[in-house]
A and B are shown apart, each in its own frame.
Chain A
Amino acid sequence: SQKIEQNSEALNIQEGKTATLTCNYTNYSPAYLQWYRQDPGRGPVFLLLIRENEKEKRKERLKVTFDTTLKQSLFHITASQPADSATYLCAGNSGGYQKVTFGTGTKLQVIP
């Protein structure tokens, strides 16, 4: 079955460093991957989308890559801040263009 996997349940990083989160997909080739931020008790907030024909996309301190050979997307937050502490979800479209499958998320803690 189609899977989106975020193998790191949690990641702790020192303030100012670059946080790198990993998302792997198996048994299919998504047309796009998305990254969301979710704070406790809140709905996800869309951050970035990257399509399969794009290698890299940036938005302010965020960078996302899409490697179709490794079947992997990396999500980077540069100059991380305590306010970046949250759970980050990766999602890929599945069963059509609109529907997405979510990974279980990586909880990022930025330590001052």
Chain B
Amino acid sequence: GAVVSQHPSWVICKSGTSVKIECRSLDFQATTMFWYRQFPKQSLMLMATSNEGSKATYEQGVEKDKFLINHASLTLSTLTVTSAHPEDSSFYICSSTRADQKADTQYFGPGTRLTVL
């Protein structure tokens, strides 16, 4: 199988602070990593796509200065929510494709529940 982990699994922070979420591929090299956001009873919405060593591509309406993505290696991508506000409270999920497989299969992490007070 292909295992993707996320850390932390949940986080509560005060409004105005920054929060970093890590996404790691544990047993494979990830060609591309994706970051999604899911609000209650809604579907996953793609926020950005990142490839190792290059700048992330953000979806329309997603502020790149607020959601900083760093794809430092083939096994690690981080999402930093800067100056978080209550409306940023959501379930953040990462996924990745494997370098040794077709690009049409994504492996998802378990998600990170962010609550901003």
Q: Using a CB–CB distance below 8 Å, which chain A residues touch chain B?
A: 31-32, 34, 36, 41-46, 49, 89, 93, 97-105
Residues of the A chain whose Cβ atoms lie less than 8 Å from the Cβ of B8 = none
B43 to A45, Cβ gap below 8 A? no
The answer on a CB contact under 8 Å between A43 and B43 is no
B67 interface residue per 8 A CB criterion:
no
CA distance A4 to B45 in the complex (A): 12
Question: How many Å lie between the Cα of A99 and that of B111 in the bound state?
Answer: 18
Q: Does B97 contact A (CB under 8 A)?
A: yes
B7-19: CB near A (< 8 Å → 1, else 0) gives 0000000000000
Q: State the B residues within 8 Å of A (CB).
A: 4, 6, 32, 34, 41-46, 49, 91, 93, 95, 97, 103-111, 113
Min CB distance A101 to B, Å, is 8
- Which one, B34, B45, B103, contacts A97 given CB within 8 A? B103
Asked if A105 and B43 make an inter-chain contact with CB atoms under 8 angstroms apart, the answer reads yes
Q: Which of A31, A98, A103, A105 has the most CB of B within 10 A?
A: A98
Residues in chain B near residue A102, CB distance under 8 A: 43-45
Known: A98-B32, A99-B46, A102-B43. A42 touches B105 (CB 8 A): no
Complex interface: chain B residues within 8 A of A44 (CB)? 44, 93, 108
B108 is contacted by which of A45, A98, A99 (Cβ under 8 Å)?
A: A45
**Which residue of chain A has the shortest Cβ distance to B2 in the bound complex?**
A46
Q: A36-B108, A98-B97 known; 14 other A-B pairs, CB under 8 Å?
A: A41-B113, A42-B111, A43-B93, A43-B108, A43-B110, A43-B111, A44-B108, A89-B44, A97-B103, A98-B103, A98-B106, A99-B46, A100-B106, A105-B43
